[in-house]
Structure 1
Amino acid sequence: MLSRLPLRPGLKRLIKIMLSLLLILMIIIASGIAFIEIQRHRTVALPTPSGPFAVGRMEYDWTDQSRIDPFAPHTSQKRELVVWSWYPATRVPGAQTAPYLPAKWGQANDNQIVQSDDSIQTHSVDHAPLSNSMARYPVLIFEPGMGKIPTQYTTLLEDLASHGYIIFAINPTYSSDVVVFPDGRVAESTTAGKIEDSAGLQAADRIIQVWAQDEIFTINQIDKLNAQPGDMFNQHLDLTRLGLFGHSFGGATAAQVCHLDARCKAGIDIDGDLFGNVVQSGVTQPFMVIQHDQGSCSDADCRAFQNEVHTLLRTVPKGAGYSLSVKNTEHFNFSDYGAYFSLLRPFGVLGSIDGQHGIQITRTYVRAFFDTYLNSTPSALLHGPSSAYPEVQFSTP
């Protein structure tokens, strides 16, 4: 039997060093995982709404019988949408606030990567009674970014509701990563409903037509709610004061729908590239484009987008077109990601701006715009740079 060969002293030292480094690396990884888990489950209260109203939340399940869903995995399936509403509510003492996600959604969105949804405290109450302080309320329709769902913008939507807006927010079925219907059915995103890198502009133009029809269908459904005796919103929705807005692809959809449907009285695109024929045709309603920090805007894509924005805004009524950017922000600073712990910041998805301050800027300028054009309450913030928000930079359309 061969005897074992003795290891040379230098080799022994090298093995010991390598094992020590491996142990240190394992400790670092384990500590990092533990830290992330602690942060993910740390209780986080979203920023408090700044308006005088309490906030209610409600869920709808609507099917458009006139449309076959082109994104669905099964042919002949009608287009079905889960739509959430945030609205000004009567304050109910002791009422329990709504979970960040409805219970049946569970693990239903990618927010779980950065913050456990059961650790996030909202300021909404499910099915709270509508406030009777006003006879009729202005209405807003919101769509999220591609793959996202509206609850990931709860801070913005709650704040608008607290100032007297009724918001209907659409979950784009088969484009959102996951949608859960009230009966528990789960609809995961499909290739047809998402923009693949290889598909590019052609896919975006195709998908935006479906999202635009989703918004038009939702407007029609809201009109029915307003005329339905016994419904909480009956005769309380002022559709002569209808605004559309969204983030990313949802913002692009707001522009497209304002081009298609005159019922849109004002619109906002929050950091969304433009798609559809609105790029060439423009809109005739007051419109605002809010962008993340553009820096020097020296690359070709940035310059092309700025040209599209300026072309779009040249068709709006004089003085009612706005293009602004927010320094030190990135794309997801406009969502709730800025309000809680996130692994996204080191990867450049969030900018260096204080997260809650960035969200406050978004809330303030979105409301200033809609107050001006839906409530006839002009805001000085729209006139140009403000010392209160020096991060906001205006560009001339």
Structure 2
Amino acid sequence: MVGVRAADASFVLDQLTGSNAKREGSSLIAPSKIAMAGQSVGGAATLAAMLKDSRVRAGINMDGTTYARIPKSGLSRPFPFMGSAGHPPGGRDNSWDRDWKLLTGWKRWLVLPGADHQSFTDVPLLAGALGLGVPGDLSAARSVEITRTYVRAFFDLHLRTGRQPLLDKPSPRYLEVKLCTPERKTCE
């Protein structure tokens, strides 16, 4: 499934970029500023797409196990992990531990201990309307704010210009987010 999604992403890029682009508005796309974000299997597909298609300049995996294998030469493009309590260094999903040392470009490992797997999706916002409880310990509004803020900061840093201090150290505004150092198996 991950490989199919990565191939789908490449197909879409083929249709939207380059001299043979066939879609209205294709000329508005800056081929050097293409990034991908995904949650769960979508996060795994983001990594797979980056490994297969150099047009994807940056990517972020939100709470997804990584299945695609990074070559021993590494992945030098920007790629952070952002996940729930199951993803601290040495946590129950060891795919991030396995892949961390192979990410040779800009990288971060962010954990939200109060988050649930669905916290990085629209589920928290829709839960009330569907008569469901909000997953995790974060409110729907806070979950969405944190996800949007960190993903936007990452894309702004790597696709636009400008430093993003939010990604350099723990933020007093977002105390729920822990910046992890896998080499020391710590998060602060």
Q: Specify the TM-score bucket, using the shorter chain as the normaliser.
A: 0.7 to 0.9
Partners of 2:79 and 2:3 in 1: how far apart? 20
Summarize deviations over 1:247-297 as a string: whole Å, max 9, x none: 100110101111121111111001100002237664210111110124877
Which moves more between the two structures, 357-366 or 254-263? 254-263
Partners of 2:181 and 2:113 in 1: how far apart? 17
Partners of 1:326 and 1:337 in 2: how far apart? 16
Q: Does 1:270 align with 2:58?
A: no
Aligned to 1:367: 152
Question: Which AA in structure 1 matches 2:112?
Answer: V
Partners of 1:328 and 1:369 in 2: how far apart? 21
CA positional deviation for 1:376: 1.4
CA 1:391–1:226: 2 relative to 1, 3 Å: farther
CA positional deviation for 1:395: 0.9
Aligned to 1:325: 111
Q: Aligned residues, how many?
A: 180
SS state of the match for residue 377, structure 1? Answer: coil
- What is the root-mean-square deviation of aligned Cα atoms in Å? 2.5
Partners of 1:279 and 1:330 in 2: how far apart? 30
Summarize deviations over 1:202-251 as a string: whole Å, max 9, x none: xxxxx22211111111110111698458x2x1421101111011110011
1:311 to 60, 79, 101: 101
CA contact (8 A) 1:228 1:234 kept: yes
CA contact (8 A) 1:243 1:265 kept: yes
Q: Does 1:353 align with 2:161?
A: no
Partners of 1:225 and 1:360 in 2: how far apart? 38
SS state of the match for residue 269, structure 1? Answer: strand
> What TM-score comes out, normalization by structure 2 length?
0.85
Structure ID, larger Rg: 1
Q: Does 1:255 align with 2:41?
A: no
Partners of 1:335 and 1:221 in 2: how far apart? 27
Report the structure, 1 or 2, having the larger strand content: 1
CA contact (8 A) 1:259 1:278 kept: yes
Question: Which AA in structure 2 matches 1:214?
Answer: D
Question: Which AA in structure 2 matches 1:393?
Answer: K
SS state of the match for residue 108, structure 2? Answer: strand
Aligned to 1:286: 78
Partners of 1:333 and 1:282 in 2: how far apart? 29
Gaps of 5+ in 1: 1-206
Question: Which AA in structure 1 matches 2:149?
Answer: T
CA contact (8 A) 1:225 1:234 kept: no
Question: Which AA in structure 1 matches 2:17?
Answer: D
CA contact (8 A) 2:15 2:21 kept: no
Partners of 2:87 and 2:147 in 1: how far apart? 18
The structure with higher relative contact order (CA 8 Å, sep 6+) is 2
Gaps of 5+ in 2: 183-188
Aligned to 2:186: none
CA positional deviation for 1:343: 4.9
Partners of 1:296 and 1:257 in 2: how far apart? 24
> What TM-score comes out, normalization by structure 1 length?
0.42
